Structure 1
């Protein structure tokens, strides 16, 4: 059973979904410390032909809190502003009529925790794209908060009876393949490169939110893009 574990991100970039699609089960790692100015509550979309950062406002966010303890601002103003920016930017894209109502539903979700807010965006996007991977949350499930770094990840793999753990390429410096192999678990890292797709008549801007991918590409084309990776 192929397992992947990642912190929750809101409408992350395509490579996140490549990892999710590759796994049989995907664990949302939401009971670790929140990272200020990370990618949990923000990402980039295309505005004026350039990457434009959008942010989900939070209440009293702190690195001393676990991710699932951090709350989303209930204020509706930021939601309206974000949706207005998205509408103005993408209204002439090929998939806008189908995708915008879907994104509107995601943005207007009323989940209080940023972990749950990200989770609903992931589950809805996965369903929209026809991805079959099971998604679960780590919080209050594995009873291993006393473990640290790769030992905690290894414990989750063992409890899930996984024989294959896949992590993002950035995990190469964090994980020891021998440690996993000694427990009968194959460890691989997914390496991806951005595949250009038409973004109006602009020069292609890579590494944007899945939102951008959805607006410019059919679900069939996205399924093809999800297969473009290398395991090392």
Structure 2
């Protein structure tokens, strides 16, 4: 079984779903400190319908929770708190080719009754994964009650699940030690999402592949995103 582990990000980029589409088990790593400058609480979308520049959209989170674990952070229950996010998406993507098909799904992802950041993001990702017919087994790391940090925590999660192949993003290649995984009888595999998606970007240059997946969905549609993810080359072992 191949396992991938990632923080539950907010409406992630296409590469996030690339990873989900190449694993048997996907773990939402929710018992880790929030990276305030990361993508767990915010996304990038076009600054305007005619621009290739990107703007950030932030989930409203109290500053007091800045260094809390993701699964400890509460977000507003009032849907009006998300009006700014909804207005920005409407302003950027109304009139795109697949707006009528995609907008109701994105609205379901953003307007929820859930007030826990980790669960809120997990629900949104699950909605999008189902839309794209991506079906790994979903696990939440905090329920595994594993110890450690960084590489040690990853290895303990893989062991707790009983998987034998860990699918990692390229960002971890600088600090993960292949021999440590080997000693623990775990095959370490890397997925080059950025490299794969750059090839897609050359074919469709108007897409902003570093933006949230909503950009691809609005401009290209659900079927195109499905076909693109399925066509990308499989994981590469290093």
TM-score by length of 2: 0.89
CA distance in 1: counterparts of 2:85 and 2:149, whole angstroms: 37
- Checking the alignment, whether the CA contact within 8 Å between 2:146 and 2:160 is kept in structure 1 is no
Q: Which has the higher helix share?
A: 2
Alpha-carbon distance, 1:85 to partner: 1.7
Alpha-carbon distance, 1:43 to partner: 1.1
- What are the superposed Cα offsets for residues 123-143 of structure 1, whole Å, 9 maximum, x if unpaired? 00000111111211111x222
The answer to whether residue 154 in structure 2 is matched with residue 150 in structure 1 is no
Aligned to 1:31: 31
- Is 77-86 or 112-121 further displaced after alignment? 77-86
Q: 1:91 aligns with which of 91, 94, 104?
A: 94
Task: Give the root-mean-square deviation of aligned CA atoms.
Answer: 1.7
- For structure 2, list consecutive stretches of 5 or more residues without a partner in the other structure: none
CA distance in 2: counterparts of 1:89 and 1:62, whole angstroms: 28
Aligned to 2:66: 62
- What are the superposed Cα offsets for residues 56-110 of structure 1, whole Å, 9 maximum, x if unpaired? 01133221x2110011123433312211221121111111101101111111012
SS in structure 2 at match of 1:106: helix
- What are the superposed Cα offsets for residues 145-200 of structure 1, whole Å, 9 maximum, x if unpaired? 3x22211111111121111101110010221111111222110111123322658x
The answer to whether residue 162 in structure 2 is matched with residue 161 in structure 1 is yes
Moved over 6 A (4+): none
Residue-pair matches, total:
226
- Is 177-186 or 125-134 further displaced after alignment? 177-186
- Is 18-27 or 190-199 further displaced after alignment? 190-199
